[in-house]
Amino acid sequence: MRAFNYSKTRAAGDAVMTVSGQPEAKFIAGGTTLVDLMRINVETPAQVVDINALPLKTIQALPGGGVRIGALARMSEVAEHPLIVQGFPAVSQALLLSASPQLRNKASIGGNLMQRTRCPYFRDTALPCNKREPGSGCSAIGGENRMLAILGTSENCIATNAGDMAVSMSALDAVVRIRGPKGDRTVNLVDFYVVPGSTPNIETVLQHGELILAIDLPAAPHAARSHYLKVRDRASYEFAVTSAAVGLDVQGSTIRSARVALGGVGTKPWRSKEAEAALVGRPATEATFVAAAQIALSGAKPRSQNAFKIPLAQRTLVKALRTLAGGGS
């Protein structure tokens, strides 16, 4: 691990000024991603700014039924918080299906949004990777790509976004609250992540020195009736091969509003507004769900080992929708 200077800060503004003034500085919260990547020399900050003393831990109700989650709330706290369990079950489920209890006790919500890909070539400094070392090439496209992305890819990068929570929050219109050297701003989570294009090293719109303060979840009928389904190679403690976060508001037998996002298949949490449009106004039936699933994967570009993800993701989405539709009303 490269040597770094460590400092602890007690005010968000100080943290932002410290990091924005040092190109090689990084914030650290839980550290479950950063320390891991520093140990294998994929992340090499010269300065690490500990933000755990900042007052960003609360989970509070917002007027109108939404919830604001402080960036330093731990995954385990959010997963079992009554406001999340009741108002945003897909978020709670996604968190409980993430990582392990020990990691969830340590990892923060803001850090979870910033977790890096698990692409094996990104983690191996002996091999080319455009995300880690721009211009060096992509080892994954012609390599071991079974777990890698089929949506949002480019000829430079097919690394999968590893998140579960971010998929559920992308489906449910989460808003990221950010503080930077030039002030505060908010970004919709679906716009927070960017596809790799020709710059796979850039994963979010967050500028250097900008700090996530909180995530807002707006209340909605399709949020209160939402579900997260994760398919993986072993029963627990594993990243998604495919996953689906869905929300449905069904009145009578007609779908009034729908939310769909896919995980394990995209270079970013993959919200499909096309699939949502194929659901709204239609009967909540198997045929509707299958049609929406086909639309959700229509832009998929598989590589040598991961074409199976297209039907698997479609079935994951159909099953998640069926689970919700079969759940009453």
Partner 1 sequence: MAKNVLSRLPEIQLPDGQLPEWEQPVVTEKSEPEPVVRPGSPDLSRRTFVAVSTALGAAMLLPAAPAQVTTDAPPELVSVALKVNGKTHALKLDPRTSLLDTLREHLGLTGTKKTCNQGACGACTVYVDGVRINACLALTVMHDGQSVTTIEGLAQGDALHPMQASFIVHDGFQCGYCTSGQIMSGVSVIKEGHAGSDAEIREWMSGNLCRCGCYVGILAAVKEVRDAGV
94 or 296, CB closer to partner 1? Answer: 94
The distance of closest approach from Cβ of residue 234 to partner 1 in the complex, given in angstroms and rounded to an integer, is 9
Answer for the pair 289, 322: CB distance below 8 angstroms, yes or no. Answer: yes
Q: What count of Cα atoms within 13 Å lies in the side-chain half-sphere of residue 323?
A: 18
Minimum CB distance to partner 1, residue 272 (Å): 29
In whole angstroms, how close is the CB of 246 to partner 1 at the nearest point? 22
Select from 63, 49, 27 the least CA-distant residue to 178: 27
- Taking the complex as a whole, the smallest distance from the CB of residue 236 to partner 1 amounts, in Å, to 4
In angstroms, what CA-CA distances link 163 with 241, 243, 283?
A: 11, 10, 31
Q: Which is nearer to partner 1, 5 or 298 (CB)?
A: 5
Structure tokens given for 311:
């039907």
Interface ranges with partner 1 (CB under 8 A): 1-6, 23-24, 28, 31-32, 35-36, 38-41, 46, 48, 50, 52, 99-103, 105-106, 125, 235-237
How many CB atoms sit inside 10 A of residue 239's CB? 19
Residue 235 or 287 having the CB closest to partner 1: 235
CA 120, 126, 131, 132 torsion: positive or negative? Answer: positive
Identity of the residue, 41 or 198, whose beta carbon is nearer to partner 1 in the bound complex: 41
In eight-state DSSP terms, residue 325 is H
**Minimal distance, residue 41 CB to partner 1, in Å:** 6
Helix (H, G, I), strand (E, B) or coil at 67: strand
Q: Which is nearer to partner 1, 48 or 317 (CB)?
A: 48
**Phi/psi at 96 (nearest 5 deg)?**
-70, -20
Give whichever of 77 and 173 is closer to partner 1, judged by the CB atom. Answer: 77
Q: In whole angstroms, how close is the CB of 185 to partner 1 at the nearest point?
A: 28
Task: Copy the structure tokens of residue 96.
Answer: 């409980």
Nearest distance, CB of residue 293 and partner 1, angstroms? 28
Reading the block at residue 18, the tokens are: 């410290």
Q: How many CA atoms lie within 13 A of 229 on its CB side?
A: 18
Closer by beta carbon to partner 1, 115 or else 154? 115
Give yes or no for a contact between 177 and 216, defined as CB atoms under 8 angstroms apart.
yes
